[in-house]
Amino acid sequence: MTERTLILVKPDGVRRGLSGEILRRIEAKGYTLVAVELREATPELLSQHYEEHVGKPFYEPLVEFMMEGPTLAIVAEGNAVIEGFRSLAGTTNPTSAAPGTIRGDLGRDWGLKVMQNLVHGSDSEESSAREIGIWFPNL
C-alpha cells in the first residue's frame, strides 16, 4: 500500500531553522520526498486546508499564525506513510507529545492562542488526496 501524504513545516518550524531537521527525520525513516516547496499560505488556501476547523475558537489565530511566514510544503511517499508520519510528528499538544517525536523533541506550548506545533500531516487517505490537491494541484 504505497501511499502519499501532505506534510507541512509550519511557519514556526521554518522560522526556527528546523526544516532540515524535519526533512532529515522523514528521510531517515525511509520515506521518499516527492515534492518540497517553500510557500506563502493565503487565507483562501488555508480555509480549504483547514476546512474541518472553520468556525472553531482557534481558527482565526491558526490562520494568522500560518501566515506569519513561509511554510515548507512536502509530499512524501512510502508504505503506510500517512500513519508513519503522524507517528513521527507526535500528538497535537507539543508540551505533552512523546519525546522522540518531532513535536515532543522540538516543540512546546508557548501560551499563545493557537498551539504552534511545527508540522502538519494528513490524517487519512481521503485527507491526503484532498490536501495534496490543494497544495500541489499539478501532482
120 a catalytic residue: yes
CB of 36 to ligand DAT, least distance (A): 20
4 binds ligand DAT (CB under 6 A): no
CB of 73 to ligand DAT, least distance (A): 15
Cell (9 digits) for 101: 517525536
Q: Which of 90, 120, 128, 132 is catalytic?
A: 120
The mark string for 75-104 relative to ligand DAT (x by CB under 6 A, - otherwise) is -----------------x------------
- Three-class secondary structure of residue 139 per DSSP: coil
7 binds ligand DAT (CB under 6 A): no
Q: Any idea which residue has 507541512 for its cell?
A: 8
Q: Which of 16, 87, 123, 136 binds ligand DAT (CB under 6 A)?
A: 123
- Three-class secondary structure of residue 39 per DSSP: strand
DSSP 74-133: EEEEEETHHHHHHHHH--S-TTTSPTTSHHHHH----SSSS---SEEE--SHHHHHHHHH
Chain positions contacting ligand DAT, by CB under 6 A: 53, 58, 62, 92, 114-115, 117, 120, 123
